[in-house]
A and B are shown apart, each in its own frame.
Chain A
Amino acid sequence: MRNFQVRSKVVNDVAVIYPKGHLDAHNVGRFEKEIVKHIGDHNFKILINGRDLNYITSAGMGVIMGYVDEVREKGGDIKLCSLNERVYEIFDLVGFTEIYDFVSDEQAAMAKFSHVLGKA
């Protein structure tokens, strides 16, 4: 069984990415490919649902950091939701929680994306 898997779907115009398992420097390429695919498809609103993510290193955080400016410039954002306490703590350690939108669950994140667009 693979240590890390990633899948995604597009709900309305939000690309929801589901990383699962152990995200480190070895498998970060698959995570990055998923983000790049959605940006390439002009889905600039990206939600990373981390409900099944149990480990992340700076490699995964670096990918999120590398694309956020681009999607924000195009009217989108990268938001994160449903992280477990330990994974959230790692993001918090380096200050990500001050710069990124961390939301409790997918529904709340979707509402935030809609609100930004004035659809709520």
Chain B
Amino acid sequence: MFSEKPEFSIAIPSQTQLLKMVVEITRHIATLYNFRPADAQKISLAVDEAITNAIKHSYDNREDQDISVEYFLEAEGLKIRLTYSGTPPDLIDHEINLCSMIKNKSKGGLGVELIRRIMDSVAYKTVDGINTCEMIKWQKRA
């Protein structure tokens, strides 16, 4: 079980120029906790996608809003929780179909799909106007 208290947390304004910084922090934390470099890079990509979605969809690209990222660690895995307000995420509950997206010139859902395929579990929740996205990646057993 993950502890209630995060090992690390960061708070950023909703600006895409900060994405790379969060990606690097996440990759560093994941590597520190024994994820292979390739997995650490994918975990950081999932965080990038989740923050991008919050900025674009929940905050409509406003740059003065808040996003917090918390990292919960245990021997078996890493849980990352994003917290933000704004419009609740509108999520599709089925896998994307690339061919129909190309035909319809639609780009929506690609980031959410990447998160789903990278992480072992993803849960979105909105309570009293606060949105959370919790993502877990378990360590692969040797």
Contact = CB atoms under 8 A, between A and B. Distances in A.
Interface of A: 3, 22, 24-26, 55, 57-59, 61-62, 65-66, 68-69, 86, 89-90, 93-96, 98-99
B45 A94 contact: no
Interface of B: 16-17, 19-20, 23, 38, 41-42, 45, 48-49, 52, 55-56, 96, 98-99, 101-103, 105, 107, 110-111, 113-114, 117-118
A66 B16 CA distance: 21
B102 A69 contact: yes
Contacts of A69: 102-103, 105
A99 B19 contact: no
B20 A94 contact: no
Residue of A57, A69, A99 with most partner-chain B CB within 10 A: A57
Nearest to A85: B38
Contacts of B23: 22, 24, 55
